[in-house]
Amino acid sequence: MKGLAELGEFGLIDQIRARFPQPVAPELGIGDDAALLSPSAGSQVVVSTDLLAEGVHFDLGFGPARLLGRKSLAVNLSDIASMGAVPRWFFLSLAIPAGFPLETIEGLLDGLAEQAAEYGCILAGGDTCGSKSGLVISVTIMGEQRPELILKRSGAVLDDEVWVSGSLGDSALGLQLLMEGKRLGQSDDYLMQRQLDPTPRCDLGRKLAEAGLVNAMIDISDGLLADLGHIGEQSGCGAEIQLGQLLLSPAFQAYAANQHAFPWQLAVSGGEDYELCFTAPVCNHGAIQKISKTTGIPLTVIGKITSSRQVQAILPDGTNFQPSASGYTHF
C-alpha cells in the first residue's frame, strides 16, 4: 500500500478533492491560490475557526479516525448553529507528522466528508504541511444568515429564561471513561459516542433564529457555567440556574447513582456538550416548546437572567454549588 510520503502533498490534495463533491460549487474553489465565494442575497457571512491538536484535543487511540474527522467539522458547525446561521463552506488545513499512517488520514477525510454532506457544507480550500510533533487539524467554516436574524452573546435581557438543548455532562463523562481505558463496543458506548461524535444543533439554531424567539445564544463547548458566563459578560448581566432542572441522560444518571457524590462538576463544567444555551423572554416559552417538539430535541428551562453579573448555580437542596472550575481553559 502506498504511504503518505509516496503519495506526496499534491497526491494528498487530489485525494481530499475526490472525497468532497461540490454540487453547488463556489465561484472558485480548490486548486487556486484563493477561493471566491458569494453569500446569498441579503445575507451576512458568519465565520468561525477551530484548531484541534493531537495530545490536547484528541487521542488517536480513543476511537476510529472517521469519528475524529466528523468531530473536527462538528465543533465548527456548532459555532455556526449558535449564531442561528446556515453552514455553507469550510476550509481544511492539516499539519501531518512524518511517517503518519495514510489510512488514518483517509479515515479522517471520510468522516469529514460524511459530516459535510450531512450538513450541506462545501470544502472550498485549505492547506497541508508537515508537523514536528503530532497531527494538527484546523477547520475554518463560513455560514450565512440575514443580519437581523443573527444571534449573539450580547442580547440577554433581565428576567429572560435560560434554556439548554439536550442533555449535559455525557461528553465529559465519556472522556473520563476513555481516559480510564474503556473503548467503543462496551456498555458505555452512548457516553463515549457523545465525546467522540458530537451532534451540532444546526437545524435547531437556525429555527430559533428565524422564529425571532431568542435574545442571546452560545454553544456549550467549555462547559455550561463558563459559556453562560460569556453571555453574561457580553450582555452585562448574570444568571441563576437550578441544577435540579438540568436534563441528564439515563446513562449519566446510572453512572451518578454509583458515585459517592453526584458529579455535578461533569454536568456543568465538563465541556464539549455542543448543545445550545440561549435566553428568551418568558412570553416566548410556549413557542419554543413547539420548536422542541418539531425538531425532536429536548429544550429545558434551567434558570433565569439576573442583574448579579455572576452565574449562580443552585443545588437541588437549595444550597449554592461551588465548582472547582467553571469550565475548560487552555492556559
Structure pTM? 0.92
Q: Are strands 44-53 and 276-280 parallel, antiparallel or unpaired?
A: unpaired
| CA separation for the pair 96, 69 (Å, rounded) | 14
Give the model confidence (pLDDT) of 282-302 as tens digits: 999 999 999 999 999 999 999
Least confident interval from 61-70, 117-126, 227-236, 292-301: 117-126
Residue 153 among known ligand-binding residues: yes
- pLDDT number for residue 178: 97
| Domains along the chain with CATH numbers | 4-149 (3.30.1330.10), 153-314 (3.90.650.10)
CA-CA-CA-CA dihedral for 229, 233, 234, 236, to nearest 10: 120
Residue 180 among known ligand-binding residues: no
Give the model confidence (pLDDT) of 64-108 as tens digits: 999 999 999 999 999 999 999 999 999 999 999 999 999 999 999
Residue 170 among known ligand-binding residues: no
Residue 122 belongs to what H/E stretch?
Answer: strand 122-131
Residue 285 among known ligand-binding residues: no
The percentage of residues in the chain with a pLDDT greater than 70, rounded to a whole number, is 94
Residue 104 among known ligand-binding residues: no
- pLDDT number for residue 24: 52
Residue 79 among known ligand-binding residues: yes
Confidence of residue 330 (pLDDT cuts 50, 70, 90): low
Confidence of residue 16 (pLDDT cuts 50, 70, 90): confident
The percentage of residues in the chain with a pLDDT greater than 90, rounded to a whole number, is 83
Residue 127 among known ligand-binding residues: yes
Average pLDDT of every residue of the chain: 93
Whether residue 1 is predicted with pLDDT greater than 50 in this model: the reply is no
